[in-house]
Amino acid sequence: TDLRTKEMTQSQLIDVETEEQLEAQLKAAGNEGLAVVHFWAEWCEPCKQMDEVLKVLGEDKKHLTLLRVEAEKDELEDVTEKYGVSMVPHFIFVRGGKVVDVLEGADPKGLDQKISKLMQSLPAAVEKKEEDEEVDPEAEKKELVARLEKLINADAVVLFMKGNPGEPRCGFSKKAVALLNQIEAKFGHFDILSDQAVRQGLKEYSDWPTYPQLYVKGELMGGIDIMQEMFESGELKTTMDEAAASDASDIKTRLTNLINQAKVMLFMKGNREEPRCGFSAKVVKALDGTGISYETFDILRDQTVRQELKTFSDWPTYPQLYVKGELIGGCDIILEMSESGELIAELT
């Protein structure tokens, strides 16, 4: 397949057949263009709808490449794994060979917003940006503060650093990660090099001029010097252990409440009206066939529930079905019970 030039209007979706073809297309987009890759599946109706949305959004846009990758195709299994695709539809946004954003689910508005925002940041778009564009400084600051507070409270312990724990980009960040790893602390992280607004805004928000910055339960602990002092005194481990225990208790309580939210509770990808994976769709069909009332929880909307429930239930996959707070099982078990006629009895 010939690579499209950067100046060509992109309104057609390109089907990717091999990993080599995908890499070539992404390379061709370069730093001057944006590539949007849609991971889809044949059985997924929302994927077909999002294809149409993509075509519309791609009309009359130079420097935009639209690609489709069949997520469940054997030849593309490595690609799906490489980009961490666990559901469809799934979109990645690539510029200069790097993934700059991700979108999960059938969200036309979100897709439009992400493409528009990323296209505006391309060199050609920046050059054409009107100088007299009005910006409300107060509204912009309020939006940034809300985002910072959300990031700070994303985990019980959050380290704002340069790079990531696997690849720190400065000596101080590397040392901070080493200290936390030595005490086996569980922590979230944010790479401030990936977002200049966060990088500058957090310094003003926290009144702390340097990085890394360590937050525990939404409160600033300090930078590398304070972390080192706390480590040497043993206070760092105590603080991390207390935060982990408190977080675990909070999560356990929340999961218990969710599981008992209804007599029959299904944790799935998507919801009963719009399942986001084949296994969830099969279970919904089986439950609907019983005529018994049940509620669902979309684990794609809450990563904490998605990860922690697997540990809580000692069940590694989704969907998960609970009746009166007790785990019944996943897709295979539910389908077997449906076929044998046991499912209705179990749910009543």
Count Cβ atoms below 10 Å from residue 18 Cβ, excluding itself.
Answer: 12
Q: In the structure encoding, which two tokens stand for residue 130, read together?
A: 């009107």
The one catalytic residue in 47, 170, 277, 331 is: 47
Give the contacts of 211 (CB within 8 A, at least 6 positions apart).
160, 161, 162, 170, 172, 173, 192, 199, 223
Is-catalytic flag, 331?
A: no
The one catalytic residue in 44, 170, 277, 331 is: 44
Q: For the chain, how many helices (H) and strands (E)?
A: 14, 17
Angle among Cα 30, 34, 40 to the nearest 5 degrees reads: 115
Are 221 and 215 a contacting pair, CB within 8 Å?
A: yes
Are 277 and 88 a contacting pair, CB within 8 Å?
A: yes
Is-catalytic flag, 44?
A: yes
Give me the residue label for tokens 């778009």.
125
Angle among Cα 42, 45, 47 to the nearest 5 degrees reads: 75
Helix axes 303-313, 235-259, angle to 10 degrees: 90
3-state secondary structure of 315: coil
Task: Look up residue 84 and give its amino acid.
Answer: G
Phi, psi at 157, each rounded to 5°: -125, 125
Are 89 and 106 a contacting pair, CB within 8 Å?
A: yes
C-alpha count within 13 angstroms, C-beta hemisphere, residue 199: 9
- Rounded to whole angstroms, the Cα distance separating 309 from 313 reads 6
- Rounded to whole angstroms, the Cα distance separating 346 from 216 reads 43
- Write the DSSP string, 102-113: EEESS-HHHHHH
Catalytic residues: 44, 47
